Chains A and B, each alone.
Chain A
Amino acid sequence: MAATSISMVACTKFSTLGWIGGGKREVRKRRVLSVSAQQDAEVKETQQMKDEKVEKEQVKKQQTPLRPVERQVNVKSKNMSAQMGGQWLSSVTRHIRIYAAYIDPETWEFDQTQMDKLTILLDPHKEFVWTDDTANMVFSYFQELVDHYEGAPLTEYTLRLIGSDLEHYIRKLLYDGEIKYNMDARINRKMDGRKIEVHSPINFMSLGL
């Protein structure tokens, strides 16, 4: 199976857009999803709490449906170089990268002005073998978390909470046998701390990640 890395854009009242299966080039295919979430007025909060409870019960039975963002027109980013002090609001961990920006699924251009959307890049190192199903499980959990954190301040801390939960979720998928390690990955380490035996002469330790 071709190793694919995956990303998606989510919108903050956080809806989702899967860009899976867009490309024909299997090897280079990445997974992106953008999600959006309009921040609603606080008055609705209590109502939503009730709704959420109902929703949650449903969620346990079925996955949160993705609410994809339709294709956006990107604005050219300016002054985002390190010299200008530009920084993407993001949470970057080993298998999950979340950016508070819209990323074009084909050109990979960032749009710094669309901070109402979150884009997730799933497993950029291609350490796991993903199918559309498993990737969608992660994406729908992402959507669920984004909905859960609705109204929270859009800070690195919140994104980190979401990203960490997703990493724990990926580990759970791994332990449940839903996903497997990609033995052809350039980096091969177990999530629980030990390195995998790789039948390859290349020394992966030298990558030092």
Chain B
Amino acid sequence: MQGRLSAWLVKHGLIHRSLGFDYQGIETLQIKPEDWHSVAVILYVYGYNYLRSQCAYDVAPGGLLASVYHLTRIEYGVDQPEEVCIKVFAPRNNPKIPSVFWVWKSSNFQERESYDMLGIFYDNHPRLKRILMPESWIGWPLRKDYIAPNFYEIQDAH
């Protein structure tokens, strides 16, 4: 099952894999990390001018890490804007994904959070450092193999 964007990408010879449609019928594509930067630029030129959301998750214990991008094409006078969901998977031992900050500026903090929580390194990100956890924190809290340190929390005292 192929969506519109997938067909368009095939026409222009861009490598990707179609992951079907999500529950809202939004086309989902997988793109390799090494292709992601060029494809992101192409998608921006195609018209996806709005990064609606960026998130990341740990696929499986010992498996891949995924970075997810929801893109929307905002135009005047359009009721139902085109949307697409891009997933980029990276191996756990060296998770490197090119940053799309230079394409969609709004990915700045989102990618920092993904870095903070899952340890995905976004290449060319202008300021990739922890955003939620203290800077001296060790480990990536949202990975499935993360073991929380036995810290004394304030709620222990209450």
Contacts and interface: CB of A to CB of B under 8 A. Distances in A.
A167 B137 CA distance: 20
Given A160-B151, A161-B149, A167 B134 contact: no
B149 A164 contact: yes
Interface in A93-128: 93-96
B78 interface: no
Contacts, number: 37
A74 interface: no
Nearest to A155: B136
Contact of B150 (A155, A168, A193): A168
B157 A94 contact: yes
Interface in B116-158: 134, 136-138, 149-152, 154, 156-158
B152 A168 contact: yes
B123 to A, nearest CB: 26
A157 B152 contact: no
B136 A163 contact: no
Nearest to A159: B136
Contacts of B151: 160-161, 164
A144 to B, nearest CB: 17
A193 B136 CA distance: 29
Contacts of B138: 157
A173 interface: no
Nearest to A195: B158
A152 B157 CA distance: 28
Contacts of A96: 152
Contacts of B152: 93-94, 96, 163-164, 167-168
Interface in A170-209: 189, 191, 193
Nearest to B155: A193
A189 B155 CA distance: 11
B134 A191 contact: no
B152 to A, nearest CB: 4
A156 B130 CA distance: 14
A94 B149 contact: no
A189 B154 CA distance: 12
Contact of A94 (B134, B136, B154): B154
A191 B151 CA distance: 14
A158 B152 CA distance: 13
B150 A191 contact: no
Given A167-B156, A189-B158, A191-B156, A157 B136 contact: yes
Interface of B: 134, 136-138, 149-152, 154, 156-158
Given A157-B137, A158-B136, A164-B151, 8 more contacts: A93-B152, A93-B157, A95-B157, A163-B152, A164-B150, A167-B156, A168-B152, A189-B158
Q: Which 10 pairs, one residue from A and one from B, show the smallest C-beta to C-beta distance?
A: A155-B136, A167-B152, A164-B152, A157-B136, A94-B157, A164-B151, A156-B136, A93-B152, A157-B138, A156-B134
9 contacts: A94-B157, A95-B157, A153-B136, A155-B136, A156-B134, A164-B151, A189-B158, A191-B156, A191-B157
